Every structure is written in C-alpha cells, then in structure tokens.
C-alpha cells in the first residue's frame, strides 16, 4: 500500500494506522551506515574515511527538528565523519560503536521521557532488529537487508543515503499534521 504523496510501502497496516503512530512521535532515531549513507565506506591510502550523505535527508532532519521532534543517531561503527555531519545538523545524541543498540535506546527513552510508542526508528540490518521490533513507528530503506524489511512498519521507495531518511521524515510530518508548520506551505 502506498501513502498519498509517498512511495513507501506500508506492510500489514493501513494508512490510518501509520498516521496514528506518527502522531505519537517525539523522538526519531536513525542508524547511519546504510540509512543516512548508502553503506559504502571509502578509504584512501592514508586511512581517511569518506561517506556520502544526501542533502535532502539533512534538510528533512532540520525540518523534523523544527517541528519539535528530537533526533538521535545510534550506529555500530565509529567515524569522525559521522561526528562532523551530526554537528552540521545539530544532532546532539550521537552514539557510535554500539552493538547493543537497545541499551542506548533505553537511555534515550529516559532522557526524553518517552515510551516505545513515541519513537520512530529507521534501520537496515540485523543489528537493528531489536529496535525495529520495539519502536512505535519503524522503517527500513528499500535496499535494507530482508530481515530488517520484514520487521519494519514500512519500507521506503528510496535506498539508504539516497533520500530514504527524508521519505520517512516526510511521512511522519505529513501524517502527524506538522508538514505545513515546517515546509513553508502555510506561508502562502
């Protein structure tokens, strides 16, 4: 099923269910490699690491922050590049080299006084399974591992690092009635 204005595939739920879940979101947690990036890791001869981020994903993150929804990152790798990108986007909750993401998830729930149902999460691989089962609204990029896609509430049309994060954020903002507040549509 497609949600109007989105290419996302909703799995086992109708549009109304997704909209109800989106209205409860106070915190968005994202994996990085394979979600905010295409999963490629480029290393040069000096050991410098390069990652490519999609500018519209970044703009989506800024919009959801303007809507009052907090954003955090939980990733299994550690990378200076992730620290730099998070700083550019004003993301303060950056947790790297985390294998048991559920432990950090618990800390973030307490910090933001949230319940599972108040969290949106996007992940792409087996290490994300626990959060894909727990969070109130979940998504996986089109090119995620099958295990992640099976657990997610919806699978985006776009792949990781290619606008998947923006697609998920747009769905949250539109479904929860926050789109006009942050998109400029109401400025007329």
| Domain ranges (residues) in the chain | 9-179
**9-179 homologous superfamily:** HAD superfamily/HAD-like (3.40.50.1000)
Q: Could you give the count of Cα atoms lying within 13 Å of 101 in the half-sphere of its Cβ?
A: 26
Instruction: Provide the 3-class DSSP secondary structure of residue 88.
Output: helix
| pLDDT for res 11 | 56
Two tokens at 72?
């955090």
User: Is the Cα torsion angle 115, 9, 59, 181 positive or negative in sign?
Assistant: negative
Range in 11-20, 79-88, 99-108, 140-149 with the lowest mean pLDDT: 11-20
78/75 Cα distance (integer angstroms):
7
Mean pLDDT of the residues in the chain: 91
| pLDDT for res 184 | 74
SS3 content of the chain, % helix, strand, coil (to 5): 45, 15, 40
Placement of tokens 């994202």 in the chain: 30
Q: What pLDDT digit, counting tens, does each position of 11-57 carry?
A: 556 778 888 999 999 999 999 999 999 999 899 999 899 999 999 99
């Amino acid at each position: 099923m497609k949600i109007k204005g989105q290419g996302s595939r909703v799995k086992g739920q109708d549009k109304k269910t997704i909209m109800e879940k989106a209205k409860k979101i106070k915190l968005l947690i994202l994996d990085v490699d394979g979600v905010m990036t295409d999963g490629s890791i480029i290393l040069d001869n000096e050991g410098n690491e390069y990652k490519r981020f999609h500018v519209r994903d970044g703009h989506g993150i800024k919009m959801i922050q303007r809507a009052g929804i907090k954003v955090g990152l939980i990733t299994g790798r550690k990378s200076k590049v992730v620290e730099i990108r998070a700083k550019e986007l004003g993301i303060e909750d950056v947790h790297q080299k985390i294998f048991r993401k559920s432990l950090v998830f618990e800390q973030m729930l307490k910090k933001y006084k949230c319940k599972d149902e108040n969290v949106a999460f996007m992940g792409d691989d087996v290490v994300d399974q626990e959060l894909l089962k727990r969070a109130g609204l979940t998504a996986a990029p089109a090119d995620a591992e099958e295990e992640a896609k099976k657990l997610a509430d919806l699978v985006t049309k776009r792949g990781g690092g290619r606008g998947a994060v923006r697609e998920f954020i747009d769905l949250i903002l539109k479904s929860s009635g926050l789109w006009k507040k942050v998109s400029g549509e109401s400025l007329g």
